Amino acid sequence: MRILGIEGTAWAASAAVYDAETDSTFIESDAYEPESGGIHPREAAEHMHTAIPQVVEAALSHARELQAENDESAVDDRAGSGADPPIDAVAFSRGPGLGPCLRIVATAARALAGTLDVPLVGVNHMVAHLEIGRHTADFADPVCLNASGANAHLLAYRNGRYRVLGETMDTGVGNAIDKFTRHVGWSHPGGPKVEAAAADGEYVDLPYVVKGMDFSFSGIMSAAKAAVDDGTPVEDACAGLQETIFAMLTEVAERALSLTGRDELVLGGGVGQNDRLRAMLDTMCEARGATFHAPEPRFLRDNAGMIAVLGAKMYAAGETVAIEESAVDPDFRPDQVDVVWRGDETA
Ligand code: ATP
């Protein structure tokens, strides 16, 4: 089985092919980089409009190569030419994300599914961030920490759904970091710059806000901005920011492991590329005898590979969607998804 995945919820115009037989994933991405400020929805949508056809063509031509290797009957390499399609289904990010971007990607996915005469699979982007960790670690039933740009969730499976055990009460974790870096005049995305600067900084105290399993970032950001405005070296503010935010995420992840009795933790999302976050989670897991896994960076930041991999699981479980029912949902929550691909597990 080969599945084409298309991702375009915010900044990454991305297409991928997941080949289930070899468990290999080809990903082609083109990032939107704002000239100034943060992600502008209209500009991001224009980027999707320009970049999606190219990344899809690269992924499809990879699929055709795989098909030619496996099937000598693949003589004509043009989509819709009458030869067998090089993929079995088209999976796309249905949400959450920026509406104008989602609509462009969904239109491309519907057109491709129609042209190639293959089914369409609508994927929840946050569940994809989670499932790629479970897939690459081969974990049975982990707690998942999604630390991405626009979101931050703790999730665990129970009775057919991924339950949200805890989440941000205001902004996503990456967006919070990006707001701080915009304030100090650094270009988007801010996360890697904070990570680099923090290495030269001294920790400074910032508000630490955890309420049960939920957490908040907005007060920390205001305090970090105010500290820099008052003369704290930006490197020190970055060190304080990282330690505080990541300690909060580590605390709630530990609480989720304790609450659920699980002993596996997976990390998902672009902020998961941060070495310090991974090290803190790893230390916490080791101390309580749990196993920690973070997928490789290409699967952490937004990417179509995770959409194709989850698309394959959904397709195998018969979870396809008719074109007329494939509307996007900018607020699509992970706990709205019926997790049919896990069979009858009822953990
Ligand atoms: P979502 O998946 O919630 O829709 P998103 O589309 O913004 O979020 P991601 O690719 O998951 O995308 O995450 C992007 C975020 O990751 C940005 O906010 C960026 O600053 C942050 N980030 C990237 N690298 C690092 C790093 N090394 N340390 C901290 N944050 C990072």
Average pLDDT along the chain: 94
Residue with tokens 């597990």: 345
Instruction: Give tens-digit pLDDT for 146-178.
Output: 999 999 999 999 999 999 999 999 999 999 999
Q: How does residue 70 score in pLDDT terms, banded at 50, 70 and 90?
A: confident
In a domain, 347, yes or no: no
First to last CA, the chain: 28
Atom of ligand 1 nearest to the CA of 302: 10
- β-bridge pairing 143-147 and 152-158: antiparallel
Radius of gyration of the chain (CA): 20
Q: How does residue 83 score in pLDDT terms, banded at 50, 70 and 90?
A: confident
Instruction: Give tens-digit pLDDT for 285-320.
Output: 999 999 999 999 999 999 999 999 999 999 999 999
Where residue 200 sits, what CATH number does that domain have? 3.30.420.40
Residue 57 shares a structural domain with residue 93: yes
Residue with tokens 């009822």: 346
In a domain, 187, yes or no: yes
Q: How far is the CA of 5 from the centre of ligand 1 (A)?
A: 20
Q: How does residue 38 score in pLDDT terms, banded at 50, 70 and 90?
A: confident
Residue 156 shares a structural domain with residue 111: no
CA distance 138 to 287: 22
Element (H, E) at 208: none
Atom of ligand 1 nearest to the CA of 129: 2
Residue 68 shares a structural domain with residue 105: yes
Residue with tokens 């502008």: 40
Report the pocket of ligand 1 as residue ranges, CB < 6 Å. 9-11, 97, 125, 148-151, 172, 174-175, 177-178, 189-192, 195, 269-271, 273-274, 301-302
In a domain, 122, yes or no: yes
Q: Which two tokens stand for residue 146?
A: 């999604």
pLDDT of residue 35: 87
Residue 197 shares a structural domain with residue 168: yes
Instruction: Give tens-digit pLDDT for 116-134.
Output: 999 999 999 999 999 999 9
Q: How far is the CA of 65 from the centre of ligand 1 (A)?
A: 32
CA distance 338 to 332: 12
Instruction: Give tens-digit pLDDT for 227-274.
Output: 999 999 999 999 999 999 999 999 999 999 999 999 999 999 999 999
For every residue of 275-344, DSSP letters joined together read: HHHHHHHHHHHHHTT-EEE---HHHHSS-HHHHHHHHHHHHHTT--B-GGG----TT--GGGS--GGGTT
CA distance 18 to 98: 25
Instruction: Give tens-digit pLDDT for 102-115.
Output: 999 999 999 999 99
Please provide residue 96's backbone torsions phi and psi, each rounded to the nearest 5 degrees: -80, 160
In a domain, 116, yes or no: yes
Amino acid (one-letter) located at 176: A
Q: Which two tokens stand for residue 120?
A: 């369409």
> Phi-psi region for residue 156, left (φ > 0), alpha (ψ -120 to 50) or beta?
beta
pLDDT of residue 344: 57
Residue 337: which of 87, 128, 146 has the closest Cα?
A: 128
ipTM given for this complex = 0.98
Domain span at residue 170 reads 138-296
Domain boundary among 262, 281, 296: 296
State the total domains in the chain.
Answer: 2
Atom of ligand 1 nearest to the CA of 242: 29
Q: How does residue 80 score in pLDDT terms, banded at 50, 70 and 90?
A: very low
For every residue of 101-114, DSSP letters joined together read: HHHHHHHHHHHHHH
Instruction: Give tens-digit pLDDT for 140-153.
Output: 999 999 999 999 99
Q: How does residue 72 score in pLDDT terms, banded at 50, 70 and 90?
A: low
Q: How far is the CA of 21 from the centre of ligand 1 (A)?
A: 31
Q: How far is the CA of 278 from the centre of ligand 1 (A)?
A: 14
Q: How does residue 214 score in pLDDT terms, banded at 50, 70 and 90?
A: very high
Judge contact between 201 and 237, C-beta under 8 A: yes
pLDDT of residue 109: 98
CB atoms within 10 A of CB 234: 23
Residue 142 shares a structural domain with residue 283: yes
In a domain, 326, yes or no: yes
